[in-house]
Structure 1
Amino acid sequence: MTIDSMPGTGAPDDPPASYEDRVLGCLLGTLAGDAFGVLTEDGAGTAGVPEEPTASSISAATHLTLSTVDGIVEALEWANDGVAADETACLWLAYLRWSVRQGAQLPPEAPAPPARWLDRQEGLPPGLRAAAASLPALATGAMGSRARPLNPSAEGPGALMRSAPFGLVPRIPGGMVERLTVEAAALTHGSSAAQDAAARFSGIIRRLVVEGAAFDDGLADAATRGAAFDHPTAAGGGGPESVGAPRPTASATLDAAVHAVRAGATASRSPQEQRAAVLAAAVEAPVRGSSPVVAASLAGGIIGALHGTAALPPSYLTAPGVPAVVRAMGRTLLSATTGA
């Protein structure tokens, strides 16, 4: 039984998307959801995903997701050359390059990694929205870890929103996907709750994209993965994402995205109709304590992981600008992982 023949995930006669198409669909779906969430938050209504996102219509979710792709690709490039690489260090350098792109001034003791292809793309605008904890952590120039956490109280969705690419890598054990996700999250978010949510999300994406699981099966399998991971530290209070009125948490934001997909994905709708309904659900009925913008980007990524590029506006497959950068990074990831 394929993904699209399962109740609540797609039209019964739709052919299943290929692995390669699901990878591209997940990354472009993240972009589409991000753009939709930002425009809605800015008061542009919920008319639909823009045909081509502009510089003002994406948050840090898209750029940091691509930075995760770039860090994974760099580690794979070293491995393919026969050189052992520290995957987490490669990811940290990718996030540092992102922070410099945002105008951060790193301390002298911080590494100064040379720019890679992604960092030179003018079509990908800088963006800080939804990065409340990530930028300050990176600006310290210190490499956070589970044992030596930065921002131990940061429970927001900044690490969660960049974690989908870990679930796109084939031919590695699920436990390794979880470990990489948690270690990458700990670079900026020391809270075990934020790390757990990131691991749950990458587990969902892996089940859908790599294993071709049905949506509900992917959720059931991933539900316990993050919670079961052994963390040496626990969240405290007073961090940059836990002060004052209720702020978005990673756990609530992931719950909002999953709820939106369940509410909007029905067998009577085409993939594009599902995408529209899911994104509307993510921003119109947000879960308390969630970030609607990030929830929309996660929901878009999940729908793309389910249906591939069939769930996207056709222009996302040809448009210049941000969509072109996303497509190029998707192809680069596929080349590094499968040679495709």
Structure 2
Amino acid sequence: MTNDSLSTSTSPAPADPTPGPLEYEDRVLGCLLGGSAGDAYGMLHAAGRDPVEALRDPSLLAVSSATSLTLYTVDGLVEALEWANDGVAADETACLWLAYLRWLRRQGEHLPPHAPAPPDRWLDRQTGLLTEQQPDRDTLQALLSGEMGTRSRPLDSRSAGPGALIRSAPFGLVPRIPASMAERLTLDAAALTHGAQEATAPAATYSAIIRALAIDGQDLTGALGSAAETGPPAAGATAEPTAAGTLYAAVQGVLAGTATSTSSREQFVRALAHTVKADAPGASPIAASSLAGGIMGALHGTSALPGAYLSSSGTPEIVRAVAQTLFRQTSGA
């Protein structure tokens, strides 16, 4: 590991406060469950169904790569923390690449012959997390190359889609590390599959927003910062979703959803509703809805979520369990 490697034994820098355990855990759980709820909401909207169904009984609802890649990101970070807490040096980015290769295998793909074959972990054996019908294309293609992309050796400098963005929240949820390390982890992990700055920079912006809410305890205005003032991205030459357009739609949806209500749950629902209807160039409604749900969950914690997400089986149960593994490794319990 590097000198700023993941380790729960490292004391936090004074400029990087860590909230109390209960507040921190509630915000983390709110972020991960909120992202999953937003994902399911966006999926139903895209299918022409009433998206509010996602907030009633989430146990059997399908989710996209936004949820599954986020969970595999947490699992990759947890594996790096496990090694660090055992006193063994590990490369966090390599752990994340192995986690994404396990995600690739879960999609029914064969790993490239020259790629490592990581052993299964608990997450890989969970049947409640359904295989996506349309996994993120850029991520899939990059992983199928069998090469580990880096910022200095990008696999595809043209990949500006939201695949790295949708999995970046967990980097903002790791306590006791400086903000600079959270940003480095986000950018290094994004570069595993996405080479364009148009893809990696929004991922870093999103993880910074999540960190500002979940770790630093900032209010929404402070957490969004300049992202709230950024105008819509220019329409591209194609209709393909972009990371910039998707993040813009999520931020605008959150701002609209929080403008007219003081109830955290009403704000959550309204934020999702505004996000999926946002007319932003390059926005993926499904991915943007997941991002908006993650922001609202990090802002308000589990109080913003429908009660079913705190007790339901299926994907919500897996999300709750994965969150607990992060808590255990970051608390040293």
**Correspondence for 1:254 among 239, 247, 254:** 247
**Correspondence for 2:258 among 254, 265, 273:** 265
Residues 135-144 or 38-47, more deviating:
38-47
| Match status 1:32 vs 2:37 | yes
**Residue identity matched to 2:147:** A
The answer to whether the 8 Å contact 2:54/2:61 transfers is no
State the shift of 1:128 in Å.
4.8
**Correspondence for 2:290 among 287, 297, 320:** 297
> Compared with structure 1, are the counterparts of its residues 145 and 115 closer, same or farther at alpha carbon in structure 2 (3 Å cutoff)?
same
SS at match of 2:52: coil
> Compared with structure 1, are the counterparts of its residues 126 and 244 closer, same or farther at alpha carbon in structure 2 (3 Å cutoff)?
farther
RMSD: 1.9
Give deviations 1:73-124, integer Å, cap 9, x for gaps.
0000000000111000000000000000001122211100000000110111
Match of 1:309 in 2: 302
| Match status 1:284 vs 2:277 | yes
The answer to whether the 8 Å contact 2:60/2:314 transfers is no
Match of 1:14 in 2: none
State the shift of 1:285 in Å.
2.1
Match of 1:85 in 2: 90
SS at match of 1:47: helix
Provide the C-alpha distance between the structure 2 equivalents of 1:107 and 1:308, rounded to a whole number of angstroms.
Answer: 40
- The residue correspondences of 1:324-335 to structure 2 (distance < 5 A) are 324-335=317-328
The answer to whether the 8 Å contact 1:134/1:158 transfers is yes
State the shift of 1:244 in Å.
6.8
> Compared with structure 1, are the counterparts of its residues 49 and 55 closer, same or farther at alpha carbon in structure 2 (3 Å cutoff)?
closer
The answer to whether the 8 Å contact 1:130/1:158 transfers is no
Provide the C-alpha distance between the structure 1 equivalents of 2:226 and 2:178, rounded to a whole number of angstroms.
Answer: 14
> What TM-score results when the alignment is normalised by the length of structure 1?
0.86
Give deviations 1:299-334, integer Å, cap 9, x for gaps.
000000000011111011111111000000011101
> What TM-score results when the alignment is normalised by the length of structure 2?
0.88
Provide the C-alpha distance between the structure 1 equivalents of 2:278 and 2:149, rounded to a whole number of angstroms.
Answer: 34
**Correspondence for 1:51 among 45, 48, 56:** 56
Structure 2 portions without partners, runs of 5+: 1-21, 230-234
- The residue correspondences of 1:1-340 to structure 2 (distance < 5 A) are 18-53=23-58, 57-129=62-134, 131-220=136-225, 245-266=238-259, 268-339=261-332
SS at match of 1:254: helix
Match of 2:8 in 1: none
> Compared with structure 1, are the counterparts of its residues 181 and 49 closer, same or farther at alpha carbon in structure 2 (3 Å cutoff)?
same
Residues 257-266 or 267-276, more deviating:
267-276
**Residue identity matched to 1:320:** S
Provide the C-alpha distance between the structure 2 equivalents of 1:173 and 1:85, rounded to a whole number of angstroms.
Answer: 18
Match of 1:3 in 2: none
State the shift of 1:246 in Å.
2.0
Provide the C-alpha distance between the structure 2 equivalents of 1:217 and 1:138, rounded to a whole number of angstroms.
Answer: 36
State the shift of 1:223 in Å.
8.1
Provide the C-alpha distance between the structure 2 equivalents of 1:186 and 1:175, rounded to a whole number of angstroms.
Answer: 17
Match of 1:8 in 2: none
The answer to whether the 8 Å contact 1:193/1:251 transfers is yes
| Count of matched residue positions in the alignment of Structure 1 and Structure 2 | 307
Identity of aligned residues (%): 57
> Compared with structure 1, are the counterparts of its residues 222 and 73 closer, same or farther at alpha carbon in structure 2 (3 Å cutoff)?
farther
Match of 1:232 in 2: none
